[in-house]
């Protein structure tokens, strides 16, 4: 459903991405892994329209994305969970979720989606009237994901959901991501936690210095020699 082909991109004079091509199929869970500064977040910014490519093409469900503004792309069904969650700390959990259903498409089904999100994250329902700023790191990440789900994504983009979380929480969050994917939402997961991401994903891409250097099923990459030595030690 999502296809990047030969995408170049960067900031001012600094080119970050060099001919990046990748693909996410309907209902797939794909991981994009690589070291710090490899271009993972930049790739996500390209997909969600916050940054425009200087060359190459981005297509979603057969439509060209590279000219669309960010808010239109959300309307089309690509929703990003930004790194660190970026919840609205001054608002309650419930208000955060309500803001998630901002697009016209999501608004119609707001009540049902919220029930679904509370089912996925019972913890959020317990804290619905609490201010988001008082949540723990793990709960914030849940809220950020829940808020993105409120926008009714067809494709969910996750930027480092494990960032700053204790291992036990990472496991829980990843379990939730798998569950969300099982319920039919395609996921593109960007991670530095390579092992966990590869175990979770059906397919994965390895990115280094702005270039895709490896592609395969998660299991295959896990046993791939260069990946093992570079990331898994």
Partner 1 sequence: MTIKKGISLALLVIGVVALGLVPRMGASESLLNLLILMFIYTMLATSWNILGGYTGQVNLGHAAFFGLGTLTARMLYTGGCPLPLAFLVAGVVPVVFSMLIGVPAFRLRLRGDYFTIGTLALSQILYITIGNVLPKITYLPMADIQNYQILPRYYIILALTVFTIGVAYALVKSRLGLGLVAVRENEDAAESLGVNAFAHKLLALAVSAFLGGLTGGAYAYYQPSYYFNYTFSPPWSLEPVTMTFIGGVGTVHGPVIGAIFFVLLKEWLVLRVGEYHLIIFGVLFILVVLFLPGGLVEAWERIRRLVARRTTVKATAPTACAGGNNLPGN
Q: Where are the beta strands (DSSP E) in 84-223?
A: 155-159, 186-191, 203-208, 211-217
Cα–Cα distances in angstroms (integers) from residue 140 to residues 96, 109, 201, 222, in the given order: 11, 23, 23, 30
Report the distance separating Cα 202 and Cα 198, nearest Å: 8
Among 26, 54, 71, 226, binds partner 1 (CB under 8 A): 71
1, 55, 61, 91: which one binds partner 1 (CB under 8 A) = 91
Binding segment for partner 1 (CB under 8 A), chosen from 21-29, 71-79, 182-190, 215-223, is 71-79
Helices (H) and strands (E) in the chain, counts: 11, 10
Selected binder of partner 1 within 16, 20, 87, 158 (CB under 8 A)? 87
21 CB-near residues (< 8 Å, 6+ apart): 4, 5, 6, 7, 56, 212
Instruction: Please state, in angstroms and rounded to a whole number, the distance separating the CA atoms of residues 95 and 89.
Output: 10
For the CB of residue 120, give the shortest distance to partner 1 in the complex, in Å.
Answer: 18
Question: Considering the complex, what minimum distance in angstroms separates the CB of residue 210 from partner 1?
Answer: 22
Closest CA to 195 of 41, 31, 21, 45: 31
**Is residue 11 involved in binding partner 1 (CB under 8 A)?**
no
State how far Cα 73 lies from the chain centre.
14
**Of the two residues 127 and 147, which places its CB atom closer to partner 1 in the complex?**
147
Least distance in angstroms from the C-beta of 61 to partner 1: 17
Pick between residue 100 and residue 210 the one whose CB is nearest to partner 1.
100
Scanning 77-85, 115-123, 160-168, 185-193 for contacts with partner 1 by CB under 8 A, the matching segment is: 77-85
The two beta strands, 186-191 and 155-159, are parallel
Interaction of residue 55 with partner 1, rule CB under 8 A: no
**Distance (Å, rounded) from C-alpha 106 to C-alpha 151?**
5
98 sits near partner 1 (criterion: CB under 8 A) = yes
Chain positions 141 to 170 lying near partner 1, rule: CB under 8 A, are 147-148, 151
**Phi, psi torsion values for 5, nearest 5 degrees:** -135, 115
- Figure out which of the listed residues 34, 39, 53, 82 binds partner 1, where binding follows CB under 8 A: 82
Asked whether position 86 contacts partner 1 by CB under 8 A, the answer is: yes
Which range, of 101-109, 115-123, 166-174, 194-202, touches partner 1 by CB under 8 A? 101-109
Q: Would you tell me which residues interact with partner 1 (CB under 8 A)?
A: 48, 50, 69-71, 74-75, 79-82, 86-91, 98-100, 102-103, 106-107, 147-148, 151
């Amino acid at each position: 459903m999502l296809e990047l082909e030969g995408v170049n991109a960067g900031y001012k004079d600094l080119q970050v991405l060099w001919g990046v091509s990748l693909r996410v199929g309907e209902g797939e869970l794909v991981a994009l892994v690589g070291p710090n500064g490899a271009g993972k977040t930049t790739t996500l910014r390209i997909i969600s329209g916050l940054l425009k490519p200087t060359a190459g093409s981005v297509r979603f469900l057969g439509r060209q994305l590279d000219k669309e503004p960010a808010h239109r792309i959300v309307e089309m069904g690509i929703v990003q969970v930004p790194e660190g969650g970026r919840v609205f700390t001054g608002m309650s959990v419930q208000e955060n979720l309500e803001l998630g259903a901002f697009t016209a498409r999501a608004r119609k089904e707001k009540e049902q989606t919220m029930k679904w999100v509370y089912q996925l994250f019972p913890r959020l329902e317990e804290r619905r009237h609490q201010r988001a700023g008082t949540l723990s790191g793990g709960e914030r990440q849940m809220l950020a994901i829940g808020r993105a789900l409120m926008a009714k994504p067809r494709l969910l983009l996750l930027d480092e959901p494990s960032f700053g979380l204790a291992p036990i929480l990472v496991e829980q969050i990843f379990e939730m991501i798998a569950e969300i994917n099982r319920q039919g939402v395609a996921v593109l997961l960007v991670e530095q936690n390579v092992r966990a991401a590869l175990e979770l994903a059906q397919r994965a891409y390895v990115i280094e210095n702005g270039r895709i250097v490896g592609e395969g099923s998660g299991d295959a990459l896990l046993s791939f020699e260069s990946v093992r030595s570079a990331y898994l030690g």
